[in-house]
Amino acid sequence: MPRKILVTYALPYANGSLHLGHLVGFIQADIWVRFQKMQGQDCVFISGCDAHGTPIMIQAEKLGIMPEELVEQCRVEHARDIASFFVHLDNYYTTHSEENKVLICDAFKKHQDKGNIVTRRIKQAFDPEKHMFLPDRYIKGDCPRCDAKDQYGDNCESCGATYAPTDLKNPRSTLSGATPIEKESEHYFFQLEQYNDFLHQWTRDGHLQEQVTHKLDEWFKVGLQPWDISRDTPYFGFSIPGADNKYFYCWLDAPMGYVASFKNFCANQTDYSVEAYFKSDSDCELYHFIGKDIIYFHALFWPAVLEGADYRTPTAIFCHGFLTINGQKMSKSRGTFIHAKTYLDHLPPEYFRYYLATKLSDRIEDLDINFDDFIQRINSDLIGKFVNIASRSASFIAKYFDNTLSAQLSEPALFKLFVKEGDAIAEHYEKREYSLATKRIMALADRANQYVDEKKPWSMIKDPDQKNATHDVCSMSINLFRLLALYLKPILPNITEKTEAFLNVSPLVWADKNHVLLSTTIQPFQPLAERLDKTHVAALQDATK
């Protein structure tokens, strides 16, 4: 029986376009999902827009549209850009949906019934001109430690200090310029501390990367605190049932958006149901891929919400690092803040997929795009090693052998070596060790090219007595190329699709590594990828600036 797997990627915020940093996790998850499907597993991949919060409300106000309109515009644009990088999502939804509203209200009611929700009055910064409470990001002032100007309300980018907005010197609202005042309001709190023992054990039961478990120890040492799950009007989100002018904090309903997106997907399916995947005793697998900046919400708050609402908790959460460009944070002034659409206007999406794969591991490490290395890696690996194998041999097959492969495998021991390596490559994919997978695959590509160089079919074909042997050598080379394409398919789905058309084969699955192409007709070879030079990258950076 195939494994029943549900994979999610963190929901991008619906107030702007996606950048390459967003694509890191989508591609990481997509490679894993594609590998699972090649293995014959029943794997569903979903995501959607995080659609609630003050920033969306304010951005919509600036644009003169309703928040719902902004969210839908972003959802459509996000879905388009994600798909353009050959990330195949089974559903891309939104947290601002009827499904999510019903789910989060039901979960809230269950926690209320269990005594997990309390209210208390708190003091907050209030904008007297905009008549609204101000999130930390909408307050700026002078750092209370180093006096640096124009710092946000929760931390100083100059000295690294963290503080409360009330500690800022000369505070002002970024929305109106007014000086904030303190005002009291009643808020709802989720008593996270009641799940201390459960979470302490859950974070040590193999659901998280070791680095994450150690990082979360800091929370348990300090002691888990009640979590503020409400926001005051005006706010774009779901109203809290039974409360006046109170809304669920977006980080409460955002993770429930995974369940809502899957529920929306199930509405048009007969073989899937929310109950089967999310009931507390479900034997289906649930995996969340996320960035390291939102680990606390996913590894502490979310499991507690699920547990108290009688849902299953994630099988595992896979966390990745940030993306840097040429060793630095993405910057608009340096031409390195690269939106997904801008990249797509200048460079092939699969080149980004491959370059990421050569760097991604199962650890939480930041990934850097060095564009000189990017060009060299694409030209050396994809063009010089991988595609070169097919282009070298296909011309002989076409010119001398009517595009038909030979009837025998001339080097069964070499083929067997390539097949055996597939097991180790599969293990790397399963463990998200893509850099190790690509390293093994390119080592095989080197061996395939070495084989052709040793046999020299361009010399063999000149000897009439060597014609059949030349046929065997070129056919063997094509068979090795086919295995490399199969191993690269999770990373390079479009190039592999072109390869399948070239070889006249059905979509490759992992079990196909054990088969040989003999006496079959292939199509005339068409270029699968093109070399890069510095002008391509320069044009991208100019467009970004």
What CATH number does residue 207 fall under?
3.40.50.620
* Domain match, 164 and 98 both: no
Which helix (H) or strand (E) segment is 94 a member of? strand 91-94
DSSP type of residue 147: -
The Cα 368–Cα 322 span in angstroms is 8
* Domain match, 34 and 179 both: no
User: Which string of DSSP letters, residue by residue, matches 377-401?
Assistant: HIIIIIIIIIIHHHHHHHHHHHHHH
The whole-number average pLDDT for the span 482-490 is 98
In the prediction, which pLDDT does 395 show? Answer: 94
* Domain match, 92 and 210 both: yes
User: Is a pLDDT exceeding 90 seen at residue 541?
Assistant: no
The whole-number average pLDDT for the span 481-509 is 98
Give residue-wise pLDDT tens across range 29-87: 999 999 999 999 999 999 999 999 999 999 999 999 999 999 999 999 999 999 999 99
The Cα 386–Cα 481 span in angstroms is 7
In the prediction, which pLDDT does 163 show? Answer: 79
In the prediction, which pLDDT does 335 show? Answer: 66
Q: Look up the domain containing 421 and give its range.
A: 384-514
User: Is a pLDDT exceeding 90 seen at residue 162?
Assistant: no
Show which of 293, 320, 347 is a domain's final residue. 320
* Domain match, 169 and 215 both: no
Show which of 164, 190, 216 is a domain's final residue. 190
User: Is a pLDDT exceeding 90 seen at residue 337?
Assistant: no
In the prediction, which pLDDT does 274 show? Answer: 97
The whole-number average pLDDT for the span 12-36 is 97
The whole-number average pLDDT for the span 387-406 is 96
In the prediction, which pLDDT does 136 show? Answer: 82
User: Is a pLDDT exceeding 90 seen at residue 545?
Assistant: no
Give residue-wise pLDDT tens across range 415-452: 999 999 999 999 999 999 999 999 999 999 999 999 99
User: Is a pLDDT exceeding 90 seen at residue 328?
Assistant: no
**Do the domain assignments include residue 326?**
no
* Domain match, 89 and 205 both: yes
**Residue 425 sits in a domain of what CATH number?**
1.10.730.10
The whole-number average pLDDT for the span 487-513 is 98
**Do the domain assignments include residue 471?**
yes
Query: How sure is the predictor about 330, in pLDDT bands with cuts at 50, 70 and 90?
Result: confident
**Do the domain assignments include residue 25?**
yes
* Domain match, 409 and 470 both: yes
Give residue-wise pLDDT tens across range 355-385: 999 999 999 999 999 999 999 999 999 999 9
Query: How sure is the predictor about 159, in pLDDT bands with cuts at 50, 70 and 90?
Result: confident
In the prediction, which pLDDT does 332 show? Answer: 66
User: Is a pLDDT exceeding 80 seen at residue 161?
Assistant: no
**Residue 165 sits in a domain of what CATH number?**
2.170.220.10
Give residue-wise pLDDT tens across range 220-255: 999 999 999 999 999 999 999 999 999 999 999 999
**Do the domain assignments include residue 284?**
yes
User: Is a pLDDT exceeding 90 seen at residue 166?
Assistant: no
CB burial readout 442-461, b (16+ within 10 A) else e: bebbeebbebbeebebeebb
DSSP type of residue 238: P
* Domain match, 48 and 84 both: yes
Q: Answer yes or no: are the C-beta atoms of 522 and 405 closer than 8 Å.
A: yes
**Do the domain assignments include residue 17?**
yes
- Rounded to whole angstroms, what are the CA distances from 438 to 34, 43, 430? 15, 23, 13
* Residue type at position 480: L
Q: Answer yes or no: are the C-beta atoms of 20 and 31 closer than 8 Å.
A: no
In the prediction, which pLDDT does 155 show? Answer: 80
User: Is a pLDDT exceeding 70 seen at residue 133?
Assistant: yes
DSSP type of residue 300: I
In the prediction, which pLDDT does 19 show? Answer: 95
Q: What is the dihedral of CA 364, 297, 122, 144, to 10 degrees?
A: 10
How many structural domains compose the chain?
Answer: 3
The Cα 492–Cα 355 span in angstroms is 11
**Do the domain assignments include residue 479?**
yes
CB burial readout 521-544, b (16+ within 10 A) else e: ebeebeebbeebeeebbeebbeeb
* Domain match, 110 and 152 both: no
Its pTM stands at 0.95
**Do the domain assignments include residue 373?**
no
Beta strands in 250-361 (DSSP E): 285-291, 316-320, 323-325
The whole-number average pLDDT for the span 322-343 is 85
Strand partners, 172: 140
Q: Helices in 168-273 by DSSP H: which ranges?
A: 196-202, 210-222, 250-266
* Domain match, 426 and 504 both: yes
Name which of 25-29, 33-37, 303-307, 336-340 the model is least confident about.
336-340
- Rounded to whole angstroms, what are the CA distances from 99 to 5, 256, 258, 259, 260? 21, 10, 11, 9, 5
User: Is a pLDDT exceeding 90 seen at residue 403?
Assistant: yes
* Domain match, 390 and 272 both: no
* Domain match, 110 and 177 both: no
Q: Which of 219, 215, 198, 196 lies closest to 319 in space, CA to CA?
A: 215
**Do the domain assignments include residue 458?**
yes
In the prediction, which pLDDT does 513 show? Answer: 98
* Domain match, 434 and 487 both: yes
User: Is a pLDDT exceeding 70 seen at residue 333?
Assistant: no
